[in-house]
Amino acid sequence: MPETQIHNLFPTPVWVIDFEPNVHEPLNAHIVRQLDTMLHERPEVGVGGTLQTDNNLHEFDEFADMVVQIQRGVVAVLEFLDVKYDAFEITGCWANINPPGGINTPHTHPNNYLSGVYYVQTQTGADSIFFSDPRPQASVMMTPTNSRNVYSGNEVSFDARPGRMIMFPSWLTHGVPVNRSNRDRISVSFNIMFTGYSETMSKPSWSPSVRLTRQSRLASG
């Protein structure tokens, strides 16, 4: 048989960061206490529903330590991608409380570059997140296989454990299975976008062959 080479084109990265127990244990306990205080009048959640807070947790001093960890993770991801940027900002940060039976259906986070989730409280039966194949044509034909793998499957799951942060491109479809445990599943989600994107980074990526001065533009009109 001739030698066969496999080239993995256009990979979709997902970053998993596991914080040390001495970092995440006090942090998670603090987050739970703050949420309990802020949600003392917790609204009722319908069957299969999820309770989500306002998306400005990053503006509260009570969550400053969590924001620091998010920012550190984002810097590491952007360095890995070798992205040129001046600054980034958290455009939204909110807590998700999945009660028993709660679910997060597949979705994306539009108008952001990166998204992520940090796990505060999970347990058996409520300890996973899944990502769907972003290629729309990939599910047109799902042939039988002995076992699904990265080349034949169309969904990948990751373990969700306390102290774990998972980051991914905001366009990547993801969801959370039904909470089949008897406790709340608690996580904090966030979105990241570049500051001043419209002024700088949304410009065309190609370089012009001719640069115009104001005088030449006026003259050409």
Q: What is the pLDDT of residue 214?
A: 65
162 or 217, which is more confident?
A: 162
Residue 87 has pLDDT above 90, yes or no: yes
d(C-alpha 54, C-alpha 60), whole Å: 11
How far, in Å, are 55, 207, 209, 214, 215 from residue 218 at the CA level? 46, 21, 19, 6, 5
Q: Are 98 and 184 in contact (CB under 8 A)?
A: yes
The model's pLDDT over 18-59, given as tens digits with 9 standing for 90+, comes to: 999 999 999 999 999 999 998 877 778 888 888 999 999 999
* Phi, psi of 76, rounded to the nearest 5 degrees: -65, -40
Residue type, 201: M
Residue 221 — very low, low, confident or very high, per pLDDT cuts 50/70/90?
low
Residue 204 — very low, low, confident or very high, per pLDDT cuts 50/70/90?
confident
Q: Tell me the average pLDDT across 192-209.
A: 86
The CATH H-level (homologous superfamily) assignment of domain 15-220 is q2cbj1_9rhob like domain (2.60.120.620)
Residue type, 213: T
Q: Nearest CA to 177 among 144, 141, 131, 213?
A: 131
Residue 217 has pLDDT above 80, yes or no: no
Residue 219 — very low, low, confident or very high, per pLDDT cuts 50/70/90?
low
* Phi, psi of 199, rounded to the nearest 5 degrees: -80, -25
The answer to which of 6-10, 18-22, 137-141 has the lowest mean pLDDT is: 137-141
Predicted TM-score of the model (pTM): 0.89
Residue ranges covered by each domain of the chain: 15-220
Q: Are 12 and 172 in contact (CB under 8 A)?
A: yes
Q: Are 57 and 63 in contact (CB under 8 A)?
A: yes
